[in-house]
């Protein structure tokens, strides 16, 4: 009998490697990696473990990958609601950021956001913000995975005054963290309407030279389209194609305002698409045609956007919204089934970030990044199909346990690496400052 570190036995298991739900299976963990997945009785015959835990009423599945966030905006949650995107940005969010965003703010708010994500079952995020080292420090403290974007925008902030300074500071961050086991660096031009051609070409070269993903808001609103037609005499995606940016390296966030020309560009270029249904609905930005893009072979991941425009980082809720919105807009209840939606929140996010060989599914040799969701609550009983209950009935409050790289970050709803009370106290203090 082979000795291993840990065996997790689960009533249900979703691997995101095969389109079915396994019952009464064991997840065998050794040296922080998944060593095996097999029925409980076979695992008992083959392995002995230092620690064995039985989740008799839980589903075990890969942790969620929140593929679009602005973590530090958690401290602006509820500050400016019920507004159109450009009004929200220009008249509320950007002025608030100019006044308050600092190294301390980003560190504290990032840790606050990470706590929310861990307790909601997220094991990795893809961020676009400022003071990148502070977000990285929050990743180190918490144990989560993070893709941290080197933001570039033609708007001065406390972080940088112009695109050249953003790029310089971003590259300093990349050099500092490029070998970190849980931090991935992307390059993150804010959007076509906030970055000029010269710097987009620079970004393209930097990304190619350093094998970086390009993380960018694309076709989010009608205003963005009109801005591009007025200033460049073409739609944003046509401009990005002309500059050579539409490729699998591009992570195109939102993709709401699409016509047939845009869809042809996406189909030919095969960028990664990130669907943010709740933020798009709240800001009335439009709807990503998920079913159509999926049928054309595009990889579609799921993100919450920042908590200032969602207003949460809840991937369980985001899955439900994504599934319902696609069914509603296509007038077809068979589109976006539950298991496909779980794939969007897990392995598709890993593929978008280029992490599919490390995380995103339960598979031998991959990192032990997984979560347990308790389905024994009144809200998720009776249970006929575990995948349907996760997407259509469960809440993030039913996530009981979270592991990243074999380390348990959440144990029976309690943090193992974070001080919850200290995090909440800092959030209250920052709220008082901002409101003053």
Mean pLDDT value across residues 416-424: 98
Q: pLDDT by residue (tens digit) across 89-111?
A: 889 888 889 899 999 999 999 99
pLDDT of residue 177: 98
Taking the C-alpha atoms of residue 422 and residue 427, their distance in angstroms, rounded to an integer, is: 9
pTM exceeds 0.85: yes
- Residue 219 gets the label, from left (phi > 0), alpha (psi -120 to 50) or beta, of left
Q: pLDDT by residue (tens digit) across 250-307?
A: 999 999 999 999 999 999 999 999 999 999 999 999 999 999 999 999 999 999 999 9
Mean pLDDT value across residues 353-380: 98
pLDDT of residue 394: 98
* Domain boundaries defined on the chain: 2-62+361-405, 64-353
Q: How far from 275 is each of 21, 210, 241, 295, 367, CA to CA, in Å?
A: 25, 26, 20, 15, 25
Taking the C-alpha atoms of residue 114 and residue 124, their distance in angstroms, rounded to an integer, is: 9
Identify the CATH number of the domain defined by range 2-62+361-405: 2.30.40.10
CATH superfamily for domain 64-353: Metal-dependent hydrolases (3.20.20.140)
pLDDT of residue 116: 98
Q: What is the CA radius of gyration of the chain?
A: 21
pLDDT of residue 159: 95
Taking the C-alpha atoms of residue 63 and residue 144, their distance in angstroms, rounded to an integer, is: 10
pLDDT of residue 94: 84
Which three-class secondary structure state does DSSP give residue 123? strand
The beta strands (E) that lie in 347-423 are given as 370-374, 399-404, 407-411, 414-415
């Amino acid at each position: 009998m082979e000795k291993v570190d840990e065996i997790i036995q689960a009533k249900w298991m979703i691997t995101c490697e095969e389109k079915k739900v396994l019952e009464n299976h064991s997840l065998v963990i050794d040296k922080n990696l998944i060593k095996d997945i097999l029925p409980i009785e076979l695992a008992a015959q083959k392995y002995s473990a230092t620690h064995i835990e039985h989740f008799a009423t839980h589903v075990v599945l890969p942790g969620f990958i929140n593929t679009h966030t602005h973590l530090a905006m958690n401290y602006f949650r509820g500050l400016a609601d019920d507004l159109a995107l450009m009004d929200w940005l220009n008249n509320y969010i950007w002025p608030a950021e100019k006044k308050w965003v600092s190294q301390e703010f980003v560190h504290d708010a990032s840790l606050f956001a990470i706590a929310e994500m861990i307790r909601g079952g997220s094991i990795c995020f893809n961020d676009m913000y400022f003071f990148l080292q502070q977000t990285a420090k929050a990743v180190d403290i918490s144990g989560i995975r993070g893709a941290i974007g080197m933001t570039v925008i033609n708007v001065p902030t406390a972080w940088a005054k112009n695109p050249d300074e953003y790029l310089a500071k971003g590259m300093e961050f990349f050099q500092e963290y490029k070998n970190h086991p849980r931090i991935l660096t992307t390059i993150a031009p804010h959007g076509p309407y906030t970055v000029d051609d010269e710097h987009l070409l620079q970004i393209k070269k930097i990304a190619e030279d350093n094998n970086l993903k390009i993380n960018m808001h694309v076709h989010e609103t009608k205003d963005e389209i009109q801005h591009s037609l007025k200033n460049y005499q073409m739609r944003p995606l046509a401009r990005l194609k002309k500059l050579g940016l539409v490729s699998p390296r591009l992570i195109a966030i939102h993709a709401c305002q699409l016509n047939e020309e845009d869809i042809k560009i996406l189909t030919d270029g095969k960028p990664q698409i990130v669907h943010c249904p709740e933020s798009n609905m709240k800001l009335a930005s439009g709807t990503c045609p998920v079913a159509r893009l999926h049928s054309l072979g595009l990889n579609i991941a799921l993100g919450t956007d920042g908590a200032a425009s969602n207003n949460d980082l809840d991937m369980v809720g985001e899955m439900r919204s994504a599934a319902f919105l696609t069914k509603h807009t296509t007038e077809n209840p068979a589109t976006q089934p539950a298991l496909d939606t779980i794939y969007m929140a897990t392995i598709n996010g890993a593929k978008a970030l280029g992490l599919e060989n490390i995380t995103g599914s339960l598979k031998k040799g991959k990192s032990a990044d997984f979560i347990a969701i308790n389905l024994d609550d009144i809200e998720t009983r009776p249970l006929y199909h575990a995948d349907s209950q996760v997407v259509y009935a469960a809440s993030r409050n039913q996530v009981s346990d979270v592991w990243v790289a074999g380390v348990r970050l959440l144990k029976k709803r309690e943090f193992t690496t974070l001080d919850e009370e200290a995090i909440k106290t800092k959030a209250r203090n920052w709220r008082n400052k901002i409101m003053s």
